[in-house]
Structure 1
Amino acid sequence: MRISNHWLGQWVDHGLTVEELGHRLTMAGLELDAIEAAAGAFTGVVVGQVLSVKPHPDADKLRLCLVNDGGGEPVPVVCGAANVYEGMKAPFAPVGATLPNAFTLKKIKLRGAPSHGMLCSARELGLSESSDGLMELPTDTPVGQDLRELLSLDDHILEVDLTPNRADCLSLSGVAREVATLTRQPLKVVEAQPVAAACDDTFPVRLDAPADCPRYASRVVRGVDAAASTPVWMQERLRRAGIRSLGPLVDVTNYVMLELGQPMHAFDLSVLRGAIIVRRAQEGEVLKLLDEKDLTLSGDDLVISDEEKCLALAGIMGGAASGVKESTRDVFLESAHFAPMAVAGRARHHGLHTDSSHRFERGVDPELPSLALERATQLLCEIAGGQPGPAQVEESQGHLPVRTTIDFRPARANALLGADIAPPVMQEILTRLGCQVNDAQTPWRVMPPSFRFDLAIEADLIEEIARVHGYDTLPTHLPAVQPQVSWLDEAQVSTRRMRACLTDLGYLEAVTFSFVDPEFQARFAPGVDPLRLANPISSELAVMRTSLWPGLVKAAQYNLNRQQERLRLFEIGLRFVPQDVELKQEKMISGLVCGPAWPNQWGQPDRTADFFDMKGDVESLLGLSGLDRQMEWQACEHPALHPGQSAELRLEGEVIGWAGTLNPDLEDWLDLDTSVYLFELKLEAINRGEVPRFRGQSRFPAIRRDLAVLVDEGVPAARVVQVIKSMDYTALQQVNLFDVYTGKGVPEGRKSLALGLILQDLSSTLTDSQVDDMIAAVVDKLQKEVGATLRA
């Protein structure tokens, strides 16, 4: 929101410098983004009148002008502007004047002709970024008057960044009301007296969507002069607010919107047929907007139409067919209240964002339409003439916003703020904010004003007390608190420790969206119907993820496309899995590995990471809780993983995760030229482990026996190790798999596993016969459980 300090001063005499004002607004929650001058730094520029225009004898594009600058004798000026004409009034910089680029005018000759000054464009004076010619001033402007004084250019513009809940400050009156409250100065409200009807003409209005538009004020104005000039003061105020002047019919509606906060629209009455109808659009209905863009509408769009055609997208933009133009003589003024939910999202859906939609989406005071209509009629008749008809108001009382009182406890406010603000001070603040306060009982009964949609509960009023009283005046001492010592479970492994583990292994943490591309989701989990968002940010973020893998793979694709070859990524977050009529949310920890096994170095040969590199990292993660010794890795099929290189991780028979190589079909679809390895584990299943316990050391020697057994190729080595560990031998300390071999000397379909068994008793030295008996029992057990035989 851009605010002219000069214009603001006509509403409230705040007595502050522009810097002080900006600070007060910022401390009150209206954050100041910038302060800028209303015009360039020029001096000595006055209003000049062109007395004559002749062609330059030696230059086709130059003209010889005589200019009256109010000083007596006409001044010769060479001008290159195409729009200069005899009798024109424009800014004139005489000799000695200084322009914004610090250029001081001197007497010169252009192509042999004397030029004692310069006729100026708006751009040359720093009033606009571009211009097509000289800045034309109204014919009744006094010649010789200082331009800065005429246009009040010694002004500053405050650019304020408003939060979405402060729609009441999207107008000069709203900001003035806020400044008056903060400075305790009276507010000089612009009086908009009802305009007497000069004719009896009206135009029928029908509300077919009363819930979306519960109030519609309108008026017919006949005989306006659309070619009239908008007063310079109004043009300047519009310019400083960032709006270009487009003629009096449009300028008046824009001005009232800036002044009061009520968006308005002017229709050309001659093209309206039958009646104005506020309704929902028909499916497939087409509307050409003022910017010549064709919109295909749906039943979700609210429109203004007559009995033959659609005229405007309600609360957003008017249509080209009914817009006012220079030939317009009769006008139909609209000043309506549209419900925020009827407009919210529709502008963005059509790729639009207008000043009107920006306000209606956030909420406009439902009491404003009639006031704004009278103000606009008054200004329009003053500038463009015309005969106004009687004001019309169609409304549906049952659909208008209902204000409710709020219970407010002064003691509660002081307790929350840690302050000691007297109740009379609180009452004064609330009253200055426009609230009606009944303090006859406790709690007080407070009725917020119609323009404050954001005041609904007691906490909102307490925030207003703090804001206006001054955040910087609240006590800064810390309240006395009794520290609460939380109980830590020794068996619990924190996510911070897991993050540290993966970071130590060279992983980087990624944070991806919880909503993903539906096509991405379908390829990673075909057959799963994810939760679809009702109002997605974009079509590529339309469903909730059922796995963290789509986000990680997309991040990897982005990095690989930018020559980042070695990637180690992990993420901790929620996945959303539909189950019957419920949505199950599970916290997962996922990871991705691709590229070289280690950074480029001289100490190791180059090698691409494989499944076992990733498996080792997962086991390191599981080792934090001691689950690496209990976890079972079993081959499985997963739609996102390679059919022959995928595994599910089981803990006590329950599947708690998956790991493997990305499916080749997905690699081709993503155009990846390297293998990608993934893992995903249920966080709740792996964050609890074993508490370390003391175990005495044996004083007796350990014995190692190595076994080479033959098993079928389909038997996992982990299964063999598991069978051995399941034997009830206290002397069996470790089982190490140190070799896997297939080939010469091993029968077809079999593989050789070399196992190292460490045997050590706590109470005595093991004898050879005891060890032999144990080894024989192990071989027998393996033969029965997995069909293993000793390798010859």
Structure 2
Amino acid sequence: MLLSLSWLREFVPYEGTAQELGDKLTMLGLELEDIVRPYEAISSIVVGHVVECADHPESDHLHICKVDAGQGELLDIVCGAPNVAKGQKVPVALVGTTMPGGLVIKKAKLRGAPSHGMICSERELGLTEDHSGIMVLPDSAVPGARLVDTLELDREVLDISITPNRADCLSVLGLARETALAFKLPLTIPELPLEENGPALALPDVDIADGDACPLYAGRVIADVKIGPSPMRIRHRLHAVGVRPISNIVDVTNYILFECGQPLHSFDLDKLQGGCIRVDFAAEGERLVTLDGQERILRAADLTIRDKNRAVALAGVMGGAETEIDENSRNVFLESACFKPALIRKTSRRLGLSSESSYRFERGIDQCRTLWAMDRAAAMMAALSGGKVCPGKSHAEPRPFVPARITFRPERANALLGVELSPEFDAEVLEGMGCALEKNGDVWTASQPSWRPDLTREADLIEEVGRVWGLDTIEPALPVVCGDLSRAGEPESDFAFRMRLKRWAAGLGLNEAVNYSFVGHKDLDQLNLPKDNRISIMNPLSAEQDALRTALAPGLLQTLRNNLAQGAAGLRIFEIANIFEAAPRADERATGCVETGMLGLMLYGSRFDGSWPQSSEDADYADLKGIVENLREFLHLPALEYAAYEGEHPFLLPCVAIRADGRTLGVMGRVRPEQADAFYARKDVWLAELNLEEIRRLHDAAAIKFAPLPVFPPVRRDITIMANRSVRIGAVLAHIAGLRLPLLENVVLHDCFEPEDSEERNLTFRLTFRHADRTLKDAEVDKEREKVAQSLVRDLGVRV
């Protein structure tokens, strides 16, 4: 919200600086983003008086002017504007002035005539796009005075960030209320008397089809208007708050919108058909050309403003082109209404059509000031256009505003805020906000102000009292947390389980990724994920987020792409989150959705961080499997089984299915290169997705057994076998474990060498032997190793 400091001072007598006001509003929850000085670039422009004006002897369009710019002598200035004339007061840029476009004014000769400055047009000053001629100032302007002072331009504009719940602050009036409350100043609303002195034209009848969708609709007719530019003061004030001036009628609706927060719309009365206005929903597929020239295809949920035969505006969003005000308009129908915020928000989001009006209607407006704003705008239009306000108004209000009655207890406020506030302070704040108080001992009743739709319960009022007191002045105090042994031994919550997994992953050096649950259908299609179990978003934030994720891979790969785009050489990340699948018809879930907790792991690039002096080898399948095995040990899960994925996985090749105790826990493997390439990957991407629901079941069922730590040292021996490539490593490990040798404690694959042009590969296994009661001798260990070797040769057909 852009707030002009001079505009604010028309409502409250604030005499402080813009920075002081911004700091105070920030502490009240209305954060100051910036202080803009919109006319600083023309602060050196002065007023000049054209004393003489003669045609240039060497040109048919230039004029030689002698200008009094308050410098003590007349300046010779050559001007090419067709409207320059003797006796005018004009803006003058003196020699040395830098114009808004960057042009530096210098002494020059034009067709032999000296020129010591420039007489400016509005476009050259950055005020409007008008460059048909120079800007002519009022006769009261004083030569030599600064232009910004003469035109009373807004020097300082505060850019204030408004939170969604504070719709009342989207206007000068709303921020004036906050300023008056903060600095204990009186609030005065300048009156603009309305005179109904126009002809008695027939007013359109108003019909509202749904009172919940439109609680109030009203309109007035201003007859015999003359369309033209607004006065300088109006145009420059709108320009200062970022609005382009259009015409006197349209500018008034924008002016009132910023002044009191009530969106208005002007129709050309002569273009409305049937002498009636109906607020109703559109017909499915109906078309409407809006003021921006775009044809909109409407839906049955879109609220429209209609005359007898057609839709003439999208309610609360934008008017229609067929009834817009143009230079030939003579009679204006001014609309002022209140609409249901949710309806306006849905239409605006669906069409991608946001306006200053829809922004305010989406958050809620002051219904009780709707008619006041209309009358104020009608009086202003009549004054600026020479028109006259016709007697009476079109008005329908099926749902009058009923304020909420809220209980407030001063003692409760003190307890929640942790400070002792006096009842007098509480009453001062609440009444200063506009609440009508009824005090009945320790329990008060406050009536909700019509401009504060966010105040509906006692906690809201307590927050307001604390906000004005100063939340920054309240000393922070940590709550006392007492352990309750009666809850010891209860099952671990899902949240605690996930937090424990996050600490485990961070301990392994993995970085956590937190991605949106929303993805795009095209992201899911890119990974060949099934379409039958997807859940589409009815009102997506964007086209890239129109479905719920059915796997963690799309988000993890997007994270990979973002990191690679920023120059990252490697990535080791994890994500713990839910995926969403459409529930089967037989499933009686109320949401129609099945949520499953998943753990995602992704490795890319270098195995080690670049700051460590290890070799620059890339992570591979063994690294990913090692993390999965580490998770198994951390959660005390049963032994995992790894098998080739049955069928073709949508995005992993090769793909390994992970099972334990007859349950499928997930998959891991390499992302297909052609799919990984779309995410800027130039190396192998290793990814695993594990089902946390199944893992939790196995974890809860695990029985932890304790054994004494070994006292005597282990003895290790390596054994290398030459085996055909068809011999699976898992089969070798299972065979050795099946020997049940009493001294054999552990066996792992230590190395694998695959010679070129050979059907065999060399597999080296490391055997660990240990005795519980004594130190082993080499002869014992060698004997046990030989048993293993002979058994492998005999039963698996390998060579040692």
TM-score, L = length of structure 2: 0.83
- Equivalent residue for 1:697, pick from 696, 710, 725: 710
CA distance in 2, matches of 1:451, 1:82: 49
Equivalence for 2:746? 734
Deviation at 1:659? 0.8
CA distance in 2, matches of 1:600, 1:72: 72
* Cα deviations by residue, 1:759-785 (Å, 9 ceiling, x for unpaired): 5443478999999999999999999xx
Change beyond 3 A, Cα 1:79–1:465? farther
* Cα deviations by residue, 1:697-718 (Å, 9 ceiling, x for unpaired): 355996969697989947x433
Change beyond 3 A, Cα 1:156–1:673? closer
Deviation at 1:211? 2.7
Deviation at 1:161? 1.4
Larger mean Cα displacement after TM superposition, 105-114 or 565-574: 105-114
Change beyond 3 A, Cα 1:223–1:186? same
Change beyond 3 A, Cα 1:83–1:593? farther
Confirm or deny: 8 A CA contact 2:408 2:461 kept in the other structure: yes
What pairs with 1:144-293 in structure 2 (closer than 5 Å)? 144=143, 146=145, 147-153=147-153, 155-201=155-201, 202-227=203-228, 229-274=229-274, 275-293=276-294
What pairs with 1:49-64 in structure 2 (closer than 5 Å)? 50=50, 53-59=53-59, 62-64=62-64
Larger mean Cα displacement after TM superposition, 99-108 or 553-562: 99-108
Confirm or deny: 8 A CA contact 1:698 1:761 kept in the other structure: no
CA distance in 2, matches of 1:11, 1:491: 57
Confirm or deny: 8 A CA contact 2:198 2:222 kept in the other structure: no
CA distance in 2, matches of 1:727, 1:606: 39
- Equivalent residue for 1:520, pick from 508, 519, 523: 523
Deviation at 1:47? 5.0
Change beyond 3 A, Cα 1:80–1:726? farther
Report the residue type matching 1:84 in the other structure.
N
Match of 1:529, SS state, is: coil
CA distance in 2, matches of 1:72, 1:732: 109
Report the residue type matching 1:652 in the other structure.
D
Confirm or deny: 8 A CA contact 2:78 2:113 kept in the other structure: no
- Equivalent residue for 2:661, pick from 648, 652, 677: 652
Confirm or deny: 8 A CA contact 2:219 2:335 kept in the other structure: yes
Equivalence for 1:86? 85
Change beyond 3 A, Cα 1:777–1:359? same
* Cα deviations by residue, 1:479-532 (Å, 9 ceiling, x for unpaired): 6735659989999982343333442xxx55433322112133244431551222
Match of 2:258, SS state, is: helix
CA distance in 2, matches of 1:250, 1:456: 35
Larger mean Cα displacement after TM superposition, 342-351 or 356-365: 342-351
Equivalence for 1:593? 603
* Cα deviations by residue, 1:74-109 (Å, 9 ceiling, x for unpaired): x56434353533378443449899788999999986
Larger mean Cα displacement after TM superposition, 602-611 or 2-11: 602-611
Change beyond 3 A, Cα 1:702–1:401? same
Change beyond 3 A, Cα 1:600–1:499? closer
Deviation at 1:296? 2.5
CA distance in 1, matches of 2:603, 2:144: 75
Deviation at 1:196? 2.6
Change beyond 3 A, Cα 1:412–1:791? same
Confirm or deny: 8 A CA contact 1:119 1:134 kept in the other structure: no
Q: Is residue 682 of structure 1 aligned with residue 688 of structure 2? A: no
CA distance in 1, matches of 2:428, 2:611: 73
Task: Calculate percent identity across the aligned residue pairs.
Answer: 34
CA distance in 1, matches of 2:230, 2:714: 105
How many corresponding residue pairs?
Answer: 777
CA distance in 1, matches of 2:248, 2:653: 75
Confirm or deny: 8 A CA contact 1:288 1:295 kept in the other structure: yes
Change beyond 3 A, Cα 1:277–1:655? same
CA distance in 2, matches of 1:21, 1:767: 86
CA distance in 2, matches of 1:168, 1:498: 48
Equivalence for 1:498? 504
Equivalence for 2:554? 550
Deviation at 1:286? 2.6
CA distance in 2, matches of 1:109, 1:741: 88
Q: Is residue 317 of structure 1 aligned with residue 314 of structure 2? A: no
Report the residue type matching 2:343 in the other structure.
A
Match of 1:371, SS state, is: helix
Equivalence for 1:342? 343
Larger mean Cα displacement after TM superposition, 422-431 or 87-96: 87-96
What pairs with 1:596-611 in structure 2 (closer than 5 Å)? 609-611=619-621
Report the residue type matching 1:7 in the other structure.
W
What pairs with 1:711-790 in structure 2 (closer than 5 Å)? 713=726, 716-722=728-734, 724-725=736-737, 731-737=743-749, 758-763=768-773, 788=796
CA distance in 2, matches of 1:431, 1:231: 38
TM-score, L = length of structure 1: 0.84
Deviation at 1:232? 2.5
Confirm or deny: 8 A CA contact 2:198 2:223 kept in the other structure: no
Larger mean Cα displacement after TM superposition, 735-744 or 476-485: 735-744
Change beyond 3 A, Cα 1:484–1:152? farther
Deviation at 1:742? 9.7
Deviation at 1:600? 9.3
Q: Mind listing any 5+ residue stretches in structure 1 that lack a counterpart?
A: none
CA distance in 2, matches of 1:533, 1:677: 30
Deviation at 1:43? 7.2
What pairs with 1:245-644 in structure 2 (closer than 5 Å)? 245-274=245-274, 275-398=276-399, 400=400, 402-472=402-472, 474-476=473-475, 478=477, 481-482=480-481, 484=483, 494-503=500-509, 508-522=511-525, 523-526=527-530, 528-557=532-561, 566-579=570-583, 580=587, 581=589, 582-595=592-605, 609-625=619-635, 627=637, 630-637=639-646, 639-640=648-649
Deviation at 1:122? 4.2
Match of 2:321, SS state, is: coil
Confirm or deny: 8 A CA contact 2:214 2:339 kept in the other structure: yes
CA distance in 2, matches of 1:18, 1:58: 51
Larger mean Cα displacement after TM superposition, 459-468 or 760-769: 760-769
Larger mean Cα displacement after TM superposition, 414-423 or 292-301: 292-301
Deviation at 1:244? 2.5
Equivalence for 2:30? 30
Deviation at 1:352? 2.6
Report the residue type matching 1:678 in the other structure.
L
CA distance in 2, matches of 1:150, 1:667: 65
Report the residue type matching 2:501 in the other structure.
T
Change beyond 3 A, Cα 1:99–1:198? same
- Equivalent residue for 1:661, pick from 658, 670, 695: 670
Change beyond 3 A, Cα 1:510–1:135? farther
Confirm or deny: 8 A CA contact 2:557 2:679 kept in the other structure: no
* Cα deviations by residue, 1:396-415 (Å, 9 ceiling, x for unpaired): 424x5543212222111111
CA distance in 1, matches of 2:389, 2:529: 66
Report the residue type matching 1:476 in the other structure.
E
Match of 2:575, SS state, is: strand
Larger mean Cα displacement after TM superposition, 302-311 or 317-326: 302-311
Tell me how large the CA RMSD over aligned residues is: 4.5
Change beyond 3 A, Cα 1:562–1:758? closer
Match of 1:152, SS state, is: coil
Deviation at 1:461? 0.9
Confirm or deny: 8 A CA contact 2:151 2:233 kept in the other structure: yes
Change beyond 3 A, Cα 1:729–1:392? farther
CA distance in 1, matches of 2:739, 2:554: 43
Deviation at 1:643? 7.9
Confirm or deny: 8 A CA contact 1:404 1:447 kept in the other structure: yes
